[in-house]
Structure 1
Amino acid sequence: MQYKLGPWLLLPARCIISSKVIERELDPLSFKLITYFISQPDRIIPRQELVENVWQQSFVDDNAINRAISELRKQLTHPEHKAPLIKTHYRKGYSLTVTPKKVINDAENITAHTAVTTDLATDLDTTQITTNEVLDNSNDIKEKSPKVINTESTITANTTQTKTLKPAIKFSSYRWLLILLVLLLTINLFIDFNIDVKVVNDEPNTPLAITTQTNKSDIETLQKITPVIAKNVNITAATWNIGSETHPLVSPDKNIFAYTNKNNGITSSYIKSLSNQQEIKLTYNDLHISAMSWQPNSRILLVETTDLKSQCHYATFDLSNINNIPEPRLIKECDKQARSMAQLSIDGNTMFYIELDEKKLGQEIYQYNIKTQKSTVLVPSGDAQYGVTNMLISPNGKQLLYRWYERNSPAKLYLLDIATREQRVLYEQAEELSSVTIAWLPDGEHIGVLQEKTLSFINIHNRALNSIELPIKKYLSRMSFLDSNQLFSSEAASTQAQVAQIDNIFSKGEKKVTMLHRSDSNDYYPTYSRKQQNSHYFISSRTNQYQIWQADDSTEKQISNFSTEEQQAIYVLVLSDNEEYLLFNRNNQLEFIDLKTGVLHSIPELDQAKVSSYVWSNNDKTILYSTIKDKVSQIWQFNLLTRENTQLTFEGGQKLLKNERGEVFYINDNTLFNLTYEQDKNTQNAFTKKITITLAQCWCSIALRDDYFYSLGDPLSLARMHILTGEVEEIALPQDSMGIVLKAASNKLLTTLTNERSTQVQRISWSATPLP
């Protein structure tokens, strides 16, 4: 039996969906999900029902379900059928948007082994339950055929019918032989799954599942442990070159370490001996080189090489003899937004790397087979903003430790078994905005988690934990252990942000960069006054605490007075049309300042909303914002006078934008939509435009002006697309930038430029303490 589902034809026997010339193989979890949806047409299926019937467990982490549904939606996308086939019902569950139809293939009914296969379906389904215990939504392998024998029994488990065939007598002996062979195969499968369960599957592309249960009481216990003050702490500089020195990496044999240096816009990597301090710079065709990781149990260093314009490659240096280093081996082209995070398997045949998902919304882990040159998704983003933010392979090469962060939720540390794809939560951060630094200890049995001054050691087997407190004044973004009581580290504050104006963008004239105000602090996210072109607002840390400031040609003044007792995280500033109010997100709460009175206003009705972008309406009495509800981004409207909260979109929507005519746009699935047209009942045709330039991950780095959509998809290049003609242009920027605002004057850009600070890799040691 086959099934027609919208534009797709599902072939259960092959776990394939096809449409004309398109054919896609479904991973086991996606196949089980779609067949369950087909067996339950025309109804909303609650999440718990999917947990019990598809995962066949009592509990599955929400992220696991979201990733599985997200992957299924990706598999079901069709170039001609734009409407999604899976619909999310807020707080209710999921349903099909089309009615599945059975398609009988008569050819299936004339083979002599059909009856045998059907009779054995129940036995094989019982065997499959064993494999389901290690199935996971997060393993989104898209290329390899699932190794699951399952005909239509998953769909019609209770209505299996067997047609009696009457083959010729001369084939009867073969029929019984076939039955015997299948019976022996079934017994062999049973033995493999139930007796030899300790056999490790070394095939890197085998899709298996992830269990993500989190024991809240255990997490709370871990977070309440009081750290012990470390004794005999010694902090010394380990590097002395000019520039920002970051990302120390101790080699597996503990004889050398690598690090990255940024100076005057040039990125270099160095190798330094721990015995005699000999230092060697890695070079290749005058390219920028960033050290990323060591291949476990080897002297192979994985790096990123790029010219910051067109070339970008993952490559490896063989450092077996640092006095005779051969040219690097190029492995794979890389996305310029790869963020220098990749790991090699212990045999060097597979590379795990992090890149943005198809929607350029969140980051996911891919695995790349170096021999076949094929990539598959290992841990998907689940359509969550940010997704996987860090990843480290264990010293023995058997496990991946990664940090998962979804906007407005505390981050979690997951441990994933590379062979079985089983994973579990090792640690959950207590606070959403807190930053952590993670690293493996050399023994491979423990990980280190650094939060501000507290360094915690976690046993990966039983999650036992103990902590020490180090005399650290600055946040350390990277660390690499030499031993359980000694590490190399680098500061996070390796860059300084300054507000600037760039003239003559997208024009023939020479680009002119003007620093609007200089300070030793970080100044960022400017927005300008349309009434007073030389006046602008920005965020600054010049008082040792982030506050909002206003500046013009001659004066700079602080206009906010936030508490100095707590850390402030302030996001994009949005000025109302009448320029009386300034809207922003502070510590995940929407607030605005009355610029005439200086009064700070909160919006308690939105305290629980996970707001990711926001704009003022044209009447300055209503705020439009995007938020995530039931793991789906939506556009809402809040009236400040009536306190009424109204949902405007139901099938997605994020990254709100407003042009100079007051029209509001949003982005969904890499497409630009005109929200003003959608809400205007007199407008017959809604406006949509597919975005063909690289979409910046940060909402702060996109803008609309004069019918152009601008995107800072790369820190050194600004692209724009004409939203009517589709014409695309791209220019190089003179310096790394983040955040963009287009001024009313033609070809003038307000942005935040980043400069490298001079920092050093530090070596920290302390008196050894017992590990948990």
Structure 2
Amino acid sequence: MAEQYSIGGFFIDLSRNQITQNNQSQIIAPKALAVLTYLAENQGKVVSHDALLENVWQGTVVSPNTLQRSIAQLRKALGDDGKVQVYIKTHAKQGYSLECDVRWHDNIESPPLNAAQENIVDTPTMSETNALAMSEDNTQSKAQHHSHDKDQSKSATTTDNAKPSKLTVMPLFTLFGIIILAYIGYQYLMPQPPSKLSFGELRLLTTTDNKEFASIYSPDGQYVVFHRYSAVFCRNNIWAKNTKTQQETQLTKDFDSYGSHSFSTDGNQLVFIQTGGCSKPEPDNQCYKLMSLDFHKALQAPQSAKVLVECKNSEIKFPKWLNNDDIALFQKLSNRWKLTRYSVSANKTTDIYEIDEGNLIYYDYSPEDELLAVISSHKDGQYYIEILKPDGRLISSNRIEYPKEIAKFKRIYPNFSPLKEQLIFSTGRQLFTLSFDGQVTNISLPLDQSMGQPQFHPDGKRMLVIKGHYDSDIVSLPLSQLTSSPLVSSQPNTAQIENAQIVQSSAQTQSLTSSDYSVIERSTYGEDSAKLQPNGELIAYQSDRSGEEQLWITDGKSSQQLTDFPMDTYIYGMDWAADGQSLLVNANDVLIQVSLDSTQTIFPLEYPVFQLFQWDSKNNRAVVLIRIQEVLTFAELNLTHLETRTINDKDINWALKSENGQLVYADKMGRFWRPGPVEDQRIEALDGQEAEKQRFVINDNVIYGINKQNQLWSYGLNEDKFDILADLPSNVDYLTDIDNSQLLMSIRVSARKDVAELTIKQ
């Protein structure tokens, strides 16, 4: 079989695992290329799923999802549209076909022209154009000379061409020099394309059953420091791994809620944020502490961190040690972020940078260049990159030019790279560089899973990433399985609530196991957010089984993919229309109405939607969290007139309206609220019933939720009645929907986050 062939404007080289167009090459996974090659060998024919799996994955048992991910990767590489399907066409329940003509190239030793040159064979390069111009000048001069000779003597029969005189040759050399100088000047003045990164081997550095994340190198590159999260304690510890001996060491003594961390330039100290645990915390605010840890002592034995700053009325994050005893960090006051500098020796904080109309999103620090790169959103709604000195002097400010591969409202979190004046960031399965002047360039890298938080080694020859995999299923719990045992009613006091939680081990509380519910949707990837169709038998849910997060529906027997969103799409909320014929989905911060025939209507809202909670299709209103100048705002949207009504400025985790129109929401402190005659009233009966990731559902004016003890509870809004219904298995993540017969939940099958290292090709 030939190892090189062309389809359309693309040149495929199997020996290099490359697809090339217009001199731009992409590295593609070998199995994906094998799928493309088998389709090419059967060009124009429908190839079944089984035939592809049998021929590409010979002797290996894989799921159809593996094939779907390969098709998705090929379509991206070919610039194909899942709907139009120019190259690879999907035949429902049959298979796939390659619709383009195939040209095979047998001579590997002498490869054909690249795809661009095949399409335009006679297109010369810039230097070839100059040479061609000179050749044409000489040819024209010779033709004129011979014409003159013929006119002078038609009977001349000599074959010797007339030689040009010195007067003819000199202007030609002059013209040649002018063209060369002009070309050199053009090349010098034109902006040069940025240098590109090329990656080689990917290897895992952590492989435990826990989640590892927030990885950084020590300044000498000898250690990788990361967080290790325990699902048992719902907290994390900080660990270090020696890159030479592979030995792992626990650095912090106790599990806690630790944030991102940074090394002092000498490598002796670690600094990080701890959430909670403050003395006399403010009732309406979480507490944040800036902590430091002696790294070398912690390598000998786990240490307790030292408190540098305690913040009870403001939020802090992203600490980074500067080239002195100062620590840069983000601080939020009144929903506005600013970049500040804390002096350890003086115990004093000063402002570095903030913007009046807009907000700061992220920043990174380069010790080598002593520069800060800040990502911000301005009053025009666009994202910018600002380059600063640590004292706050602004070097440059440029709008970030998003390419088509990145969604309009996508936030990015770039870090400095070894390339001059360029940073690097991930959007999930894609890596990009960002220049100081705001230009974004895609790095060709075939990723089958999302990777985040890229951080370079001090030598610039390798890079840390977080590689994750999440597998969850959708299950149905019949309400007949629940035996309601009212434990608390009529606005209980604190003692009653505490007693209610103690009863969980008694006979009054039913313990449910996996045998009590049935699995509705299962794959080796994440299924979530299942919603029951009003007046129908369908269930809508989101899944990334095809390689990207998409909207799916099932009738319990078979599933159908409704959407074909692009790579690195994230879905944050969806809800059915009252007639059950369409859904409203929040994809990449944009609200889209998707009908059952897959047609879509996009609502051109002014602001990005962070979270969609609920859709009232009869009045065409949606309860949402939106970003106004990067400040999260709890609001109700009128989608008919594209108007926004702010509900309040609290930090909201989840919100729904009941059947009688009562709004219920949970704030970031886990407290539940509903509107009162003058101001919102806290539902005190639900104090202590919040979960780590608070979601709740409402049916027949009754709220259902799960608390930290994995207890399923209910609260009647009309009767003010609170019940503990059952103990749920520990792997239940969310309640997603309920009707009069069943409760839908998302259960966690596996959840991994690993620290991995990518080497850079030299």
**TM (normalized to structure 1)?**
0.52
Question: How does 1:88-237 map onto structure 2 within 5 Å?
Answer: 225=193, 228=196, 230=198, 233-237=200-204
Give the whole-Å Cα distance in 1 for the aligned partners of 2:728 and 2:315: 19
Q: What residue is the counterpart of 2:319 in the other structure? A: 342
Question: Deviations along 1:110-137, whole A, 9 cap, x unmatched?
Answer: xxxxxxxxxxxxxxxxxxxxxxxxxxxx
User: Are positions 1:524 and 2:528 aligned together?
Assistant: yes
> Shift of residue 353 of structure 1?
4.8
> Shift of residue 539 of structure 1?
0.6
Amino acid aligned to 1:395: P
Q: What residue is the counterpart of 2:620 in the other structure? A: 622
Q: What residue is the counterpart of 1:541 in the other structure? A: 544
- The 8 Å contact of residues 246 and 261 in structure 1, kept in 2 or not, is answered as yes
Give the whole-Å Cα distance in 2 for the aligned partners of 1:334 and 1:548: 41
Q: What residue is the counterpart of 1:297 in the other structure? A: 266
Question: Deviations along 1:162-220, whole A, 9 cap, x unmatched?
Answer: xxxxxxxxxxxxxxxxxxxxxxxxxxxxxxxxxxxxxxxxxxxxxxxxxxxxxxxxxxx
Amino acid aligned to 2:524: D
Give the whole-Å Cα distance in 2 for the aligned partners of 1:298 and 1:471: 34
> Shift of residue 338 of structure 1?
7.8
User: Are positions 1:663 and 2:661 aligned together?
Assistant: yes
Give the whole-Å Cα distance in 1 for the aligned partners of 2:723 and 2:322: 40
User: Are positions 1:766 and 2:742 aligned together?
Assistant: no
2:366 pairs, out of 373, 394, 403, with: 394
User: Are positions 1:320 and 2:296 aligned together?
Assistant: yes
Between 395-404 and 705-714, the greater mean CA deviation after superposition: 705-714
Structure 1 residues 760 and 710, CA gap change in structure 2 (3 angstroms): same
- The 8 Å contact of residues 526 and 752 in structure 1, kept in 2 or not, is answered as no
> Shift of residue 540 of structure 1?
1.0
Structure 1 residues 653 and 343, CA gap change in structure 2 (3 angstroms): closer
> Shift of residue 766 of structure 1?
1.6
1:428 pairs, out of 386, 389, 400, with: 400
Question: Deviations along 1:31-55, whole A, 9 cap, x unmatched?
Answer: xxxxxxxxxxxxxxxxxxxxxxxxx
> Shift of residue 268 of structure 1?
3.9
Structure 1 residues 303 and 414, CA gap change in structure 2 (3 angstroms): same
Structure 1 residues 280 and 537, CA gap change in structure 2 (3 angstroms): same
Task: Name the SS of the counterpart of 1:320 in structure 2.
Answer: helix
Structure 1 residues 513 and 669, CA gap change in structure 2 (3 angstroms): closer
Structure 1 residues 618 and 522, CA gap change in structure 2 (3 angstroms): closer
- The 8 Å contact of residues 495 and 755 in structure 1, kept in 2 or not, is answered as yes
> Shift of residue 293 of structure 1?
1.9
Which blocks of at least 5 consecutive residues in structure 1 are unaligned? 1-220, 640-644, 678-684, 768-772
Q: What residue is the counterpart of 2:738 in the other structure? A: 743
> Shift of residue 236 of structure 1?
3.6
Q: What residue is the counterpart of 2:464 in the other structure? A: 489
Amino acid aligned to 1:606: P
- The 8 Å contact of residues 213 and 466 in structure 2, kept in 1 or not, is answered as yes
Task: Name the SS of the counterpart of 1:285 in structure 2.
Answer: coil
Question: How does 1:262-411 map onto structure 2 within 5 Å?
Answer: 262=229, 264-265=231-232, 267-285=236-254, 292-303=261-272, 314-320=290-296, 324-325=300-301, 327-331=303-307, 332=309, 341-348=318-325, 350=327, 352-353=329-330, 388-395=360-367, 399-404=371-376, 411=383
Structure 1 residues 631 and 328, CA gap change in structure 2 (3 angstroms): closer
Task: Name the SS of the counterpart of 2:559 in structure 1.
Answer: strand
Amino acid aligned to 2:305: R
Give the whole-Å Cα distance in 2 for the aligned partners of 1:388 and 1:714: 33
Q: What residue is the counterpart of 1:576 in the other structure? A: 577
> Shift of residue 477 of structure 1?
0.6
Structure 1 residues 463 and 289, CA gap change in structure 2 (3 angstroms): closer
Question: How does 1:2-21 map onto structure 2 within 5 Å?
Answer: none
> Shift of residue 542 of structure 1?
1.8
Amino acid aligned to 2:424: G
2:226 pairs, out of 256, 259, 271, with: 259
Question: Deviations along 1:599-631, whole A, 9 cap, x unmatched?
Answer: 345445636664456677767363346566788
Q: What residue is the counterpart of 1:8 in the other structure? A: none
User: Are positions 1:247 and 2:214 aligned together?
Assistant: yes
Give the whole-Å Cα distance in 1 for the aligned partners of 2:271 and 2:395: 25
Question: Deviations along 1:490-549, whole A, 9 cap, x unmatched?
Answer: 2353444444578789874256475744321111222235667x9642111223343333
> Shift of residue 718 of structure 1?
10
Structure 1 residues 578 and 454, CA gap change in structure 2 (3 angstroms): closer
Give the whole-Å Cα distance in 2 for the aligned partners of 1:396 and 1:443: 12
Structure 1 residues 589 and 480, CA gap change in structure 2 (3 angstroms): closer
Q: What residue is the counterpart of 2:645 in the other structure? A: 649
- The 8 Å contact of residues 510 and 727 in structure 2, kept in 1 or not, is answered as no
- The 8 Å contact of residues 737 and 743 in structure 2, kept in 1 or not, is answered as yes
> Shift of residue 442 of structure 1?
7.2
> Shift of residue 482 of structure 1?
1.9
- The 8 Å contact of residues 250 and 258 in structure 1, kept in 2 or not, is answered as yes
1:419 pairs, out of 391, 411, 431, with: 391
Greater Rg, structure 1 or structure 2?
Answer: 2
Give the whole-Å Cα distance in 2 for the aligned partners of 1:708 and 1:377: 48
Give the whole-Å Cα distance in 2 for the aligned partners of 1:284 and 1:301: 14
Amino acid aligned to 2:658: E
Give the whole-Å Cα distance in 2 for the aligned partners of 1:473 and 1:529: 32
- The 8 Å contact of residues 260 and 319 in structure 2, kept in 1 or not, is answered as no
User: Are positions 1:476 and 2:476 aligned together?
Assistant: no
Amino acid aligned to 2:738: K
Structure 1 residues 352 and 750, CA gap change in structure 2 (3 angstroms): same
- The 8 Å contact of residues 497 and 522 in structure 1, kept in 2 or not, is answered as yes
> Shift of residue 472 of structure 1?
4.7
Give the whole-Å Cα distance in 1 for the aligned partners of 2:203 and 2:638: 54
Task: Name the SS of the counterpart of 1:555 in structure 2.
Answer: coil
Q: What residue is the counterpart of 1:128 in the other structure? A: none
Task: Name the SS of the counterpart of 2:433 in structure 1.
Answer: strand
Give the whole-Å Cα distance in 2 for the aligned partners of 1:719 and 1:382: 45
Give the whole-Å Cα distance in 1 for the aligned partners of 2:664 and 2:331: 26
Structure 1 residues 279 and 377, CA gap change in structure 2 (3 angstroms): same
Between 513-522 and 605-614, the greater mean CA deviation after superposition: 605-614
Q: Aligned-residue CA RMSD in angstroms?
A: 5.9
Question: Deviations along 1:96-119, whole A, 9 cap, x unmatched?
Answer: xxxxxxxxxxxxxxxxxxxxxxxx
- The 8 Å contact of residues 260 and 270 in structure 1, kept in 2 or not, is answered as yes
Q: What residue is the counterpart of 2:557 in the other structure? A: 555
Structure 1 residues 327 and 244, CA gap change in structure 2 (3 angstroms): closer
Which blocks of at least 5 consecutive residues in structure 2 are unaligned? 1-189, 279-285, 486-499
- The 8 Å contact of residues 354 and 388 in structure 1, kept in 2 or not, is answered as no
